[in-house]
Structure 1
Amino acid sequence: MTNALLKMHPVKSLGWVTLTSLLVLALGVVWDNWGDLLGPQAPNTAVTAPATEAEIEQGRYLALAGNCMACHTTRGGTPFAGGRRIDTPFGGVYSSNLTPDPETGLGRWTAQDFWQAMHRGRSKDGRLLTPAFPYNHTSVITRQDSDAILAWLRTLPPVVQAQPAHNLVWPVGTQPALAVWRSLFFEPSPFQVNKAQTAEWNRGAYLVQGLGHCAACHSPRNALGASGAVNDLSGGLMPVVNWYAPDLTRDTESGMASTPLAEIVRLLRTGASNTAQTSGPMGEVVQHSLQHLNETDLQAMAVYLQSRAQSTAQPTAKTPPARISLQVATQGAKVYENQCLQCHGERGEGVKTASGEVAYPTLAGNRAVLLNDPTNLVQLVLYGGYGPATQGHPRP
């Protein structure tokens, strides 16, 4: 066969090689997605015991940890009824209805159906789901937690609301394209306990890598929209929304290595600490998810995040500041004097209340100000820098 190809015309030979390569690629994709491409499995007729109140409450708590409502609720709509448009670089994806309506929601889903969606990114009818649903992260969670979430979702009032059709550029969103994408970038990642670490560290890792899906924002995305591994916290620009998620392993960007553990917990719980304040997408995560978690889980997440930062080599040489012309600096000083000085102070020292709460953040030495990427500063100036309103920080 090889000798015959060599004797062919070069163009024909190249064509055969290309065709053969495409065939091998197609066979590899089919093999990699074999279980998913077969379609829905036989219905699970096994009788399961009704969920206990404790399991249902655990499911409610886990749904908060995963911030599920944020994507599965339209603005002003019924919680968890889906239909919210999620913009991607390739078009719009609409979230599904998680209420127990039998026609448009999860009313006819079994625990196995739900587990397949969480663990394999596959719907009840066998369709491969778009990775706007972070099934690489939900594949981390245990079957027990998956069942608990479904048990709680079944207690919601059923809402009739069909999922709108996605509006993605062709061929993105087609089943063959999703199969190829999954072969390239998706592999279920069930949580593996690190026996060298404490139970608290492992609980934090489980939450950060799984339902917290922190790497969905805090890792770079490639041209095909794939983020890093579930434990990649190296930071990156969030597409479409255009916020920069800081590198959580680099102290100059996040302060995770040097900030006292109690202050990290406070930041996660309230959105503000003595050294930082959350804004933009992270503010929404605190608002709708993290502030509702118990202190034990927030402490575990803080322990894990700080450990990751402290075990990462930190750069010793500071990046020299960009050269700014005297004209630009003078103009900037005038803008600051007219628009910023009254609240943030003459030298950017900020203002604190009598109780020590941050009223106006310190800008001098602020990590957000010193980031090499100025994206977040531009966003804050254009759209405001208010943190989330939380029980521990009611008046941001």
Structure 2
Amino acid sequence: MLELPVSSEMWSFLLVFGLLCWGADGSVTCKNDLNAEVDWYILYKMPKMDPTSTGTEYFYIDSSGKSEELNNINNPNGVLGNTLRPLFRPIRNMEETFGFISYSDQPPGCSADQKRFGHSKGLVMVDRTGTGVWILHSTPRFPFRRDQNNFWPTSGNKNAQTFICVTFNYNQFTTIGTHLKNINAFPFEHYIPDNFHEELKTVVRWTEGPPFSPVQVEVSLLTSKGNQGFKAFAKRAHEDEEVGDLYLSIAKNIRSDVYAQTWGCQRDRSDSYCSNEFSVINVEDLLVGNQRRWTPKVDHSKWCVAKDQNKHWTCIADMNRAVSQFERFGGALCINLESVQRRFLGFARHPQICRKRPRPVCDPNSDEVNLQIIG
């Protein structure tokens, strides 16, 4: 066969083309629905409210200023499918520089030991030569499989859920690893090579977390690849509401009352915490996207937003506001950005007034199920 010489210009073209292809599909960053890299995004998946909805519609905002309602959260070429693509390979075929931790107290097929592991759900994917992502969410059994056509659990369609994805440089994952250990995250599937940060390797060893300091909550400062500021909160497990309520700790730290949305059918759900200092006020009604309205009874998300419009904090969290949740570890990732705060203040309708309210009557077939206990 005749072999034609390849010019230096052709080699340069092939090299640039290869790098562009890796940048589009191989880089470990948050991706939007067009498969373009973004510094961060937040998804608010809507509940299945009537026969015309699928339960896979979601409202999307990101670091580029994009704000829109999208369909099919389970689309392999959608926001989550594009972001998770580095995960959709057998571990033996993963790059030596790549690692991941999928953690959840409700992984596919079982539940983690509630006395040992925190009430937390998320995913870390990292390229140690560049960047990684931290996704914190509220959806049980996610990701259902490491498969681009089967990563979304159909059980997640019923109720509303939230996701936050942030792109961080590799050096930030020492702090993120420490946070995951502090909340006793249950790593149900993982691959962390030996030359990764020790803090990430410690998460997957299934040992008890480090003792907390006497403070109520550990607060870590993080900076995204795009230089956006974040705070990560990791709370202690304590039956006393003053210590065990994650949202009260957040309110005290950011020095603002907060509106809080958590699972509306949680047994022993707490009423609003009203104080002359800082209050945690439950949201009773939500208005998201194209004027879609629902109540916390069909909303499994966990988030809070500063009421003070001079304190621009919004937090996507792990915990519900309930006595049983005070006694578990958990945390939140909070973004300091006015545009996000304004959006979530708009979601929060009819905040609960500071008096006792009747408990909601809920469908017993909820997301909060108890299956085989492991760990």
| Fold match by TM threshold 0.5 | no
Structure with greater helix percent? 1
Larger Rg: 1
Provide TM-score, normalisation by structure 1: 0.28
Structure with greater strand percent? 2
